[in-house]
Structure 1
Amino acid sequence: MPWAVLVLWVAVLALAAMPFAGKLGDVQQDRAVDYLPDGADSTQVARIQDSLPGGEATEVVLVYQRAAGLTGADRAAAQRQVTEIASAHELTGGAPKGVASKDGTTLMVPVASNEPGTDEEAKSAFVEDIREKAGGGDGLSVEVGGPGALQADMGEVFESIDGTLMIATALVVTVLLILTYRSPFLWLIPLIGVAAAALSSRALVYGLVQGFDLTVTSQGAGIMTVLVFGAGTDYALLIVARYREELRRIERPYDAMRAALRGCGPAVLASSGTVAAGLLCLLAADLNSSSGLGPVGAVGVVCALAAMMTLLPAVLVLLGRRVFWPLIPAYGSQPKARRSLFAVMGSSAGRRPVAILVSGGVLLGALALGAFNLPGNLSQEDSFTSKPESVAAMETLAEAYPERSSQPITVLAPTGRADEALATARSTEGVVGAEPGRNGDGWTEIAVFANDAPETAGERSTIERLRAELDDNGAYVGGPSAQQIDLEDTNARDRAIVIPLVLAAILLILVALLRSLVAPLLLVVAVVAVWGAVTGLGGLLFEPVFGFAGVDPSMALLSFVFLVALGVDYGIFLMHRMREEALSGAEPRTAALTALRTTGGVIASAGIVLAATFMVLMTLPLVMLRELGFLIAVGVLLDTFLVRTYLVTSAAMLLRRKVWWPGPLSRAPRPDGEPHREPRVPEPAGRGK
């Protein structure tokens, strides 16, 4: 049987996973529309623009500046460069004309082209060519900004995500496994399983894209990689720890593995089920990037589960006890008796459960108050950890042209009512100008310039007034700033829908596993408290310490889904073992202490591994991913070493049998002294090695 499993995995990897895993990068989509709400006005604008003559436009702005004032030679050089660009590319609206700032230090030249279409590589090449042709020197600075340049800079970051994450995460997991197992061989087995899961998940997601037109962003694919490595290693740690334990009781490795999987299998299945179910709840989100992340992340978790429940056990059984060298668990031996850290923690929780529960709750509540200090929503310009050229150009424009926005608001009106929409836009408060653009497919594009800088409160009010005034015209208002407004509104809607779904799904799985209502509620309350505390910690650190200018609008939802789903994992490991001990007749206090003593070490190792894998996100140059990595990593550590170890254990001791209400374990033992047991499958009896 182990040989058959191994051969099957080799066949799957060779024939399907390896040929198609590398193709996932070719179908990842990172256009603005792929990160927008599906039904928002700004999304409709982006889609309609694709159908206009020439398709989607790539808009950039050339910014020429000399601090002492532009000279005639500067303007002549700018004109030569713009002429060269116009002769090399098909620009919309003819040769672009520059707009000088009032102080004469800056010249802004808007350039737009439909030539690249929707091809992201062509857009990046277009922007790069403009940057090569537009050069300064001798005191004249030239920067290329605008939506097209910003998207190109973002795309350059996304291109590096997959490879960087895969290598960094693999290195982190390797180091932690070596430190955990202290064996020259054992660490390699879980790593092989995780690598097989990572390849399989990428190939499977590629198949879903081809078969169901699933939207996969680079951000989603990167998070899936972290999930596979983190969750897969966690499952491996639990299975290997239980297998080592069973090898001391059972002679044959095959039978020991069967007993190990029967013992911890339900917990691993429930653990992966909570994560997958929580992620699939994201399908209810209107935000394209969030709804696409749901199935992508769920595929990663399921592949990690499949590899760790089949490939890992098969390889371990085939290698036998010697894989644990030099710490080989001999049949009939007992582990060295020593008072572990978690036994000490459990004893302290048992002596003062009320004090620990109250003080822990106060600490989490105090940390949660930091959420009031969270910075505002993250703007596109603040999304990078280091300032790219596109952001520097937009900052230069904001200083040089304080009287107008350098970034147009896009209005798309039905062609028959375009003149009416144009007049309405020009008369709207906060608008300093509006010009008609392309026509096609029954729509007319109008570029509207606001009096206020992009993504400010003033421009937001102008966009809201435009939408109210143009609503009767059947027009849509979009553009980068409108997209940010729609992102904020949609994320608020998604939170109201997805968060209750996640809680309901996880509760159902926990009730089915633990045959109780109280224990699942205890675990869910604990992880929600962790999410609140770590969100508050973000408020205390993001802006004052890390210098992040804002929080991505999707952060609250994504951090909740990941922290709640992943955090419940460790509660499942602990509570499932506690339930096993209770089924064996142990008193509630003894069951809780034994569960903590036997699972504390593996839960701690799993928590450190998971936190470290998400910490890898903090090495990437995007603020959103750094924030997400920080929140999940710190949340997992807080859950592992405080909430799971002290608070849940203390609560279980205080509730005693009531923690299993209304199941049979909640009732006192029968008069004959026997506990209320559930049927258990007898252990395998096999002999010989």
Structure 2
Amino acid sequence: MFAGLARFVVRHPWWTIVAWLAAAVVIIAFSPKLTTESDQGEFLPSGYESVQAVELETDAFPQQAEASSLIVVQRSDGGQITPQDTAKITEAAKTLTAEKDEYPTVQGFITSPELVAPNKSIQLITVPMEMATGAEAQEQSQAIKDLREKLPEVLGGNLEAKVGGDIAMFVDNEDSFTQSFLLITVATFALIIGLILLIFRAPLAAILPIIVIIVTEQLSMGLIGSASKLLDFSGDDSLQIILTIVLFGVGADYYLFVLFRYRELLRAGVERKEALIRAVERVGEVITSAAAAIAATFIVLMLASFGIFAAWGPSLAIGVVVMGITSLTVFPALLSILGTAVFWPSKAWKKEPKGTVSTKLGGLVGKRPAIVALAAAAVMIALSTGVLGFKSNYDFQSSFPQDTESAMAMKDMEKGFPAGQTRPVKVMFESTDGQPLTKAELDAFGAEAKSLPGVGGVAPAELGQDPKVGRVNLLLDGNPVSNESINLVKDELNPAVHDLAPEGTKAYVGGEAAIYADINKVVNRDLSVILPVAGVLIAVILLLLLRSVVAPLYLVPAVLLGYAATLGSAVFVFQGLLGEPGEIFHLPIMLYLFVLAIGTDYNILMTARLREEAKQGHAPRKAAALAVQHGGPTVAAAGLILAGTFSVMLLASVSMLQQMGFSIALGIALSAFVMSIFLVPGVTALLGERAWWPGRAGPKEPPAGSADPAEEQYAPSGTRS
């Protein structure tokens, strides 16, 4: 199959490229765009209590704002807010409301004596706003900036104000995100171009994959948009970024798989067209298996209950499959047209270097496979123990710089109000006996709720548009999205609220803390389903690739061990060394995407090379040495590009990105260098031909005459026939 494909693509490169470009133009031009959601709660299954609370609130209070900001006002001299100050602040709110048309998406400015802190340190002005996307979101951001310039004018000299809340936080940190992602994009290009230049000393070879991957990404987005309509899913704002990283990661990997094997065959004296055909034929099965393994692990995400993960699954799988097809068609077609000119101006492709690092590492693995395998496994197991201390962190705000106006506004607010003032636990009540609710019974509930653990205050009860529905907001003492608060809501507050619910009513606990508590349940459930199923699918793909029952039995545990070692390392560094309260809650799934899925590439390449060398008749240890010698540079280059890309995120000012960057970079490095170059070849050398059972890796009869004299330095291992 791959031989026929290779011959067609190499002998008819222009037909291949024209057909691919025509398909790309049609798909990009006529495919629908993927719709996105930004609210995490939108992705929870409807059966969860926090979602039911949101739905009940939306129906009962249709007039409530979709989003809001908060103005925190205090005296410039640090004194208490006086009645005269309150009058001035109230007048300023009226003035701003009269001019609200100048601030797109703003619905008004609201303050009252109840919004003066009990200790008189501050007074609040709430700013209800419409939820905005696209161009409207840009206008909303500008409205926050304009408001900040206007406040000193309307408040006068003895009062100062800061604008906070989720919208203001987004405005303050938009530049941080933009700069971070720009940095990642530039670093990705620089690393791919720079590393390929370093390896091949050929500008054309370095630029070629960038152009192809960019076009492939646009083609993939078109197909993803069509799939979203067919399968009825929507993505979140991060999907485009994740897809870009995935495609550049696997695209660079597969390009290097082809290019390294092409150069190896050219050095062996094979004619250039024939060398390219053989290169595509030999790595075709590897690329197909690797793409299938990654796509399968992504497809498994469709089993997730959390909507974000379920949407990522088919989207990323489509991207990887398209990239796999591109790697076996467009890359070879371009190389067929360019020929050895792709390596210009370097002449190094003509000769095999002596005494390289990969040769020495191969020699080490071949001579001491047991020591190498045990050392690699010991490192991975030691790092994996950190998983036992893993804690999730849902506080996105704390991961942003704390010197912004929105962050300082929240700190000022906590001088006079509970930390949960802007993110209350929203307790919704619904009548179960058909009778309307009364404000008196809800206030009675609120009075009792004040004594519940973690509750710092209770807002006045509200009746909905439907009098059979009401709401009481509980204000938490602590950070409402900290692990402590989320666990408090889940384990103590939720049961207590249900116990205190007025007779004839049913309570629903909502709000951010409750939503994150439910997300915690969903993510834990999803990982418990996804990891085992992905492991089984990877094992099946390895079985088909290697025709072996034994090899998947140690390769799949090695992949899972790499995942655990990466997560454990993050715990040691961020929770242990840096004292962070936890890891960002979606880090485990990010590691699943980039370490477990993409890291499988390197194991598949190395294992396929091990089997290929064994089929040539080499003894197990010699096969391991040669596999590391020839496959090691490919794995190392691909791993360096991907790990280097993520490591650049350490320069970001957002700690969430730093956690992701460090963890994923380390995970890729462990997959590429520890597992693929040491652990897997070492174990395979120790097992010998048993690794390929029930198949036979080598020929039935040993090669005629004496094998390579160098082979004698490797002691026999495993069984030979």
TM-score by length of 1: 0.86
**Equivalences for 1:82-121 in 2 at 5 Å?**
82-89=93-100, 91=107, 96-113=112-129
Partner of residue 539, structure 2 = 507
Structure 1 residue 233 corresponds to structure 2 residue 244: no
Partner of residue 29, structure 1 = 37
**Equivalences for 1:414-425 in 2 at 5 Å?**
414=430, 418-419=437-438, 423-424=444-445
Instruction: Indicate the SS of the match to 2:204.
Output: coil
Q: Deviations for 1:593-629, whole angstroms, at most 9, x for unmatched residues?
A: 1111111111100110111233344455543333222
**Equivalences for 1:82-161 in 2 at 5 Å?**
82-89=93-100, 91=107, 96-113=112-129, 124=141, 127-128=144-145, 130-135=147-152, 140-150=159-169
One-letter amino acid of the counterpart of residue 662, structure 1: P
- CA distance, structure 1, for counterparts of residue 648 and residue 437 of structure 2: 50
Structure 1 residue 68 corresponds to structure 2 residue 79: yes
- CA distance, structure 1, for counterparts of residue 681 and residue 325 of structure 2: 30
Q: Deviations for 1:636-683, whole angstroms, at most 9, x for unmatched residues?
A: 1122222221222211111111111232339x9469999xxxxxxxxx
One-letter amino acid of the counterpart of residue 583, structure 2: V
Please identify, of 142-151 and 59-68, the stretch whose mean Cα deviation from structure 2 is larger.
142-151
Question: Displacement of 1:234 after TM fit?
Answer: 0.7
Which of these residues, 185, 192, 195, is aligned with residue 173 of structure 1?
192
Structure 1 residue 384 corresponds to structure 2 residue 400: yes
- CA distance, structure 1, for counterparts of residue 635 and residue 133 of structure 2: 50
Instruction: Indicate the SS of the match to 2:37.
Output: coil
Structure 1 residue 462 corresponds to structure 2 residue 480: no
Q: Deviations for 1:317-364, whole angstroms, at most 9, x for unmatched residues?
A: 01122221234588xx6x335122122122222333223332332222
Contact residue 56 and residue 117 of structure 1 kept, 8 A = no
Instruction: Indicate the SS of the match to 1:656.
Output: helix
Please identify, of 32-41 and 504-513, the stretch whose mean Cα deviation from structure 2 is larger.
32-41
- CA distance, structure 2, for counterparts of residue 595 and residue 541 of structure 1: 34
Please identify, of 360-369 and 545-554, the stretch whose mean Cα deviation from structure 2 is larger.
545-554
Partner of residue 361, structure 2 = 345
Partner of residue 273, structure 1 = 292
- CA distance, structure 2, for counterparts of residue 215 and residue 226 of structure 1: 19
Unaligned stretches of 5+ residues in structure 1: 675-689
Partner of residue 645, structure 2 = 613
Q: Report the CA distance shift for 1:95/1:55 in structure 2 as closer, same or farther (over 3 A).
A: closer
Please identify, of 359-368 and 541-550, the stretch whose mean Cα deviation from structure 2 is larger.
541-550
Structure 1 residue 556 corresponds to structure 2 residue 588: yes
- CA distance, structure 2, for counterparts of residue 276 and residue 154 of structure 1: 33
Please identify, of 255-264 and 148-157, the stretch whose mean Cα deviation from structure 2 is larger.
148-157
Aligned pairs, how many? Answer: 667
Which of these residues, 400, 414, 431, is aligned with residue 398 of structure 1?
414
Q: Report the CA distance shift for 1:608/1:138 in structure 2 as closer, same or farther (over 3 A).
A: farther
- CA distance, structure 1, for counterparts of residue 16 and residue 22 of structure 2: 10
Contact residue 265 and residue 279 of structure 2 kept, 8 A = yes
Q: Report the CA distance shift for 1:610/1:304 in structure 2 as closer, same or farther (over 3 A).
A: same
- CA distance, structure 2, for counterparts of residue 97 and residue 116 of structure 1: 30
Structure 1 residue 80 corresponds to structure 2 residue 101: no
Unaligned stretches of 5+ residues in structure 2: 1-11, 101-105, 706-721
Partner of residue 464, structure 2 = 439
Partner of residue 53, structure 2 = 45
Q: Report the CA distance shift for 1:488/1:29 in structure 2 as closer, same or farther (over 3 A).
A: same
Instruction: Indicate the SS of the match to 1:414.
Output: strand
Q: Deviations for 1:461-494, whole angstroms, at most 9, x for unmatched residues?
A: 3345325655984443211221221222221111
Q: Deviations for 1:162-188, whole angstroms, at most 9, x for unmatched residues?
A: 666544422332222222221132212
Please identify, of 638-647 and 408-417, the stretch whose mean Cα deviation from structure 2 is larger.
408-417
Which of these residues, 243, 266, 273, is aligned with residue 262 of structure 2?
243
Contact residue 60 and residue 147 of structure 1 kept, 8 A = yes
Please identify, of 641-650 and 63-72, the stretch whose mean Cα deviation from structure 2 is larger.
63-72
- CA distance, structure 1, for counterparts of residue 123 and residue 111 of structure 2: 15
Instruction: Indicate the SS of the match to 1:542.
Output: helix
Which of these residues, 559, 570, 578, is aligned with residue 538 of structure 1?
570
Q: Report the CA distance shift for 1:154/1:47 in structure 2 as closer, same or farther (over 3 A).
A: farther
- CA distance, structure 1, for counterparts of residue 393 and residue 419 of structure 2: 24
Contact residue 368 and residue 535 of structure 1 kept, 8 A = yes
One-letter amino acid of the counterpart of residue 271, structure 1: A
Question: Displacement of 1:19 after TM fit?
Answer: 8.1
Question: Displacement of 1:503 after TM fit?
Answer: 1.0
Contact residue 189 and residue 316 of structure 1 kept, 8 A = no
Contact residue 379 and residue 550 of structure 1 kept, 8 A = no
Contact residue 410 and residue 445 of structure 1 kept, 8 A = no
- CA distance, structure 2, for counterparts of residue 441 and residue 200 of structure 1: 49
Please identify, of 232-241 and 586-595, the stretch whose mean Cα deviation from structure 2 is larger.
586-595
- CA distance, structure 1, for counterparts of residue 683 and residue 276 of structure 2: 33
- CA distance, structure 2, for counterparts of residue 40 and residue 152 of structure 1: 31
Which of these residues, 682, 688, 700, is aligned with residue 650 of structure 1?
682
Q: Deviations for 1:6-38, whole angstroms, at most 9, x for unmatched residues?
A: 1123334444437879x66xx433234345555
Which of these residues, 213, 217, 224, is aligned with residue 243 of structure 2?
224
Q: Deviations for 1:243-263, whole angstroms, at most 9, x for unmatched residues?
A: 222334575543322211110
**Equivalences for 1:222-371 in 2 at 5 Å?**
222-248=241-267, 252-328=271-347, 335-371=351-387
Q: Report the CA distance shift for 1:211/1:151 in structure 2 as closer, same or farther (over 3 A).
A: farther
Q: Report the CA distance shift for 1:263/1:440 in structure 2 as closer, same or farther (over 3 A).
A: farther
Contact residue 514 and residue 579 of structure 1 kept, 8 A = yes
- CA distance, structure 1, for counterparts of residue 238 and residue 650 of structure 2: 13
Q: Report the CA distance shift for 1:490/1:404 in structure 2 as closer, same or farther (over 3 A).
A: closer
Question: Displacement of 1:576 after TM fit?
Answer: 0.4
Contact residue 224 and residue 315 of structure 2 kept, 8 A = yes
Contact residue 165 and residue 225 of structure 1 kept, 8 A = no
Question: Displacement of 1:374 after TM fit?
Answer: 4.7
- CA distance, structure 1, for counterparts of residue 14 and residue 254 of structure 2: 21
Q: Deviations for 1:373-401, whole angstroms, at most 9, x for unmatched residues?
A: 55552313223245543333223223333
Q: Report the CA distance shift for 1:171/1:463 in structure 2 as closer, same or farther (over 3 A).
A: farther
Partner of residue 203, structure 1 = 222
Contact residue 201 and residue 300 of structure 1 kept, 8 A = yes
- CA distance, structure 1, for counterparts of residue 498 and residue 583 of structure 2: 26
One-letter amino acid of the counterpart of residue 59, structure 1: S
